[in-house]
Chain A
């Protein structure tokens, strides 16, 4: 069974500071991993994904994440926070190829302090 744990339901950073959002997963099969962002009153937008291959994946808006199998982690980072990054972020796992059902974490609300 697949599950996702996001540590920290709320994270605050100063503008220009490093953003680190934590995600740990549990999967009985090699996972596909995703980070989505949700702005108020909107749907989810894909930031980045890991399926196979390079474990450091780069996404949109300067975000990146590293898949660490030994730690079952897929933490999201951005070197310098911008005010527009304030949103809710969701980590998700799927069962791999052929599966279109995502298991989401509970989300982390990112606040950026000017």
Chain B
């Protein structure tokens, strides 16, 4: 069974631009969560989508948004990029039953110049 895939793996943007990251979950998984990992703040939860609906949201500004499609694939978007948005963005999928066992993708490394 294929694991969680994220595209692109690396991305370079400039301040003020917007970016869209993509995540394909493990087949059969209906929940997709997104996390931001930075050296200063560590791993922080962004949001979770389940059956195309946002089920949980972390403490991030509205510039960070996401969506989930009927095939469970998910995208997250960051608008008006700031230097502090440079991070590794990790996507995790799970069956959605809330047992917390999430399977992580390799991440997208975003650099904002």
Instruction: List A residues at the B interface (Cβ < 8 Å).
Output: 32, 34, 36, 41-46, 49, 51, 90, 92, 94, 96-107
Contacts and interface: CB of A to CB of B under 8 A. Distances in A.
Mostly, the B contact residues are strand
B4 interface: yes
A101 B106 contact: no
B106 A41 contact: yes
Q: How large is the interface on B (under 10, 10 to 19, 20 to 34, 35 or more residues)?
A: 20 to 34
Contacts, number: 67
A65 to B, nearest CB: 15
B100 A102 contact: yes
Given A44-B90, A90-B43, A102-B45, A97 B104 contact: no
B106 A43 contact: yes
A38 B4 CA distance: 15
Contacts of B45: 101-103
Interface of B: 4, 31, 33, 35, 42-45, 48, 50, 55-56, 58, 90, 92, 94, 96, 98-107
Given A43-B90, A100-B31, A101-B56, A49 B42 contact: no
B105 A34 contact: no
Contacts of A44: 90, 92, 104
Contacts of B90: 43-44
